[in-house]
Amino acid sequence: MGKTEFNENLINKVRNLPTVPGIYKFKDEKGEIIYVGKAKNLRNRVKTYFQGNLDPHTKTYALVHRINDIDYIEALSELEALLLEAELIKKLHPKYNIALKDDKSYLYIVIRTEKFEMNGRSAGIPKVITARRPDLLETDTVFGPYPDGNTAKYIVKILRKVIPFRDCSSGKFNRYKRLGKPCLYGYIGLCSAPCTQAISLEDYKKQIDRVKRFLSGDSVRIIDSLKKEMEVASKKEQFEKAAELRDTIQKFDYVRRQYKSANKYIENPYLVVDMIAKALDELVRNIPVIKTFPKRIECYDISNISGKEAVGSMVVSTNGRIDKSEYRKFKIKLKDEPDDFAMMSEVLYRRLRNDWQMPDLFVLDGGKGQLSVISDLFKKEGINIPVIGLAKRYETIVYHDGKEFIEVRLSKSNEGLKLLIQLRDEAHRFAQKYHHQLRLRKITK
């Protein structure tokens, strides 16, 4: 079997695809969309169609040899790419999505209510499962279909960590109801155990309603309603409930940090590009020390326990996008006792001694203390690049105008602040990962 030849223009398009999450659309010579796929890395995924030998007897071969053009929509995360792919397939019915996989084998996310005897009365208790089309019931609430079975399962897995729910059979539910204790999922927090009445039916149904709204792309209102519930619980001094709601909000924020529904991407295929441009513009407009669009931003964090195995991290965004190839980590050498200011100073001093590309903006995890130490270092080193701090408690931006420290509070919906928070959280994650590696190495020596 000979090597498959492809149009050079098409190959160049593949080479120029970005290495970001998103969906790709294959078009035929008439400009019709014949296939929609999703990818964690667009360039790497699409490239797999155009290399090596293809068996002429396969449907993939038939698809690839009808591709005349490639289009794509960049997404903010793999999760959003998954949801967007499902929505586009449902709307467009591309020929080869159907040809490559029988629609009956597609998975749906299903919310199904089952009846149980609870306290002498019949109660409808929903569960969240995945199912194929022949197994759907008329009374089910259905989301999808998802062309890749792993897509639906991945979404359910992510959601369950935020909003616990049951997925068990009625037999299993009744068994644990009789035992009066939850199953393993109940113990590890992935199910709120309505079988044992660990949660009221009213509260459990609220949780399921949040699942529905998230899958419908209504995550913003979910957060708002959770915050209102938390405030009410605090006023009533129901502190345990308020703390649980706070934890749920934080988990939700993590999953949907910049969550956009599939329809938002369909309405504006350049949504991510527009958001990035807006984020950089917001930084320039709201923080006076930033005079021009910061093409390269470096963000720093310190991680240690009582000064031991202390590390620093540097994460980078290039043109508003996280750039993991530019990350750097530092093992603290000069301090073995808690002193975040001195440790931050050591990390920045060592960074300046390298011939890496200089940034347009330095961001520090911290407030006036960290900023003061680094400002002094920059003066000594003759560095005239803007540096700001991001104080975690209220997400306050701090900078020095040459005379005094200035604090800036931006709305949580501000795209510039979102970018800074994303960088700070990524720096924290990267530092913690390295810190844990060093601790594990020491323990296992």
pLDDT tens for residues 298-350? 999 998 766 577 899 999 999 999 899 999 999 988 766 768 899 999 999 99
Average pLDDT of every residue of the chain: 86
Q: SS3 for 75?
A: coil
Q: Are residues 26 and 112 in the same domain?
A: no
Q: Are 114 and 56 in contact (CB under 8 A)?
A: no
Q: Are 391 and 398 in contact (CB under 8 A)?
A: yes
Mean pLDDT of 171-191: 92
Q: Is the pTM of this model over 0.85?
A: no
Q: Are residues 93 and 128 in the same domain?
A: no
Of the residues 170, 202, 234, the one at which a domain ends:
202
Of the residues 100, 117, 148, the one at which a domain ends:
100
Mean pLDDT of 123-134: 93
Q: Are residues 291 and 426 in the same domain?
A: yes
Q: Are residues 294 and 323 in the same domain?
A: yes
Residue 120's pLDDT is what?
87
CATH at 56 = 3.40.1440.10
Q: Are residues 183 and 39 in the same domain?
A: no
User: Domain for residue 2, yes or no?
Assistant: no
User: Domain for residue 134, yes or no?
Assistant: yes
Q: Are 318 and 295 in contact (CB under 8 A)?
A: yes
> What is the 3-class SS of 94-132, one letter each residue?
CHHHHHHCCHHHCEEEEEEEEEEEECCEEEEEEEEEEEE
Mean pLDDT of 71-89: 85
Q: Are residues 290 and 391 in the same domain?
A: yes
Residue 45's pLDDT is what?
93
Q: Are residues 324 and 281 in the same domain?
A: yes
User: Domain for residue 242, yes or no?
Assistant: no
User: Domain for residue 380, yes or no?
Assistant: yes
pLDDT surpasses 70 at 156:
yes
Q: Are residues 310 and 426 in the same domain?
A: yes
User: Domain for residue 233, yes or no?
Assistant: no
Q: Looking at the 3D structure of the chain, how many domains does it have?
A: 3
* CA distance linking residue 122 with residue 114, whole number of Å: 10
Q: Are residues 116 and 41 in the same domain?
A: no
Residue appearing with tokens 């009808």? 66
* CA distance linking residue 265 with residue 293, whole number of Å: 25
Those residues whose C-beta lies under 8 Å from the C-beta of residue 263, and which sit 6 or more positions away, are 87, 217
Residue 348's pLDDT is what?
96
Residue 250's pLDDT is what?
67
Band (pLDDT 50/70/90 cuts) for residue 286 is very high
pLDDT surpasses 50 at 1:
no
User: Domain for residue 49, yes or no?
Assistant: yes
Instruction: Identify which has the larger pLDDT, 40 or 350.
Output: 350
Instruction: Identify which has the larger pLDDT, 246 or 341.
Output: 341
Q: Are residues 130 and 41 in the same domain?
A: no
pLDDT surpasses 50 at 189:
yes
Q: Structural domain of residue 91, as residue ranges?
A: 8-100
Residue 2's pLDDT is what?
45
pLDDT > 90 in the chain, percent: 49
User: Domain for residue 220, yes or no?
Assistant: no
Mean pLDDT of 31-58: 86
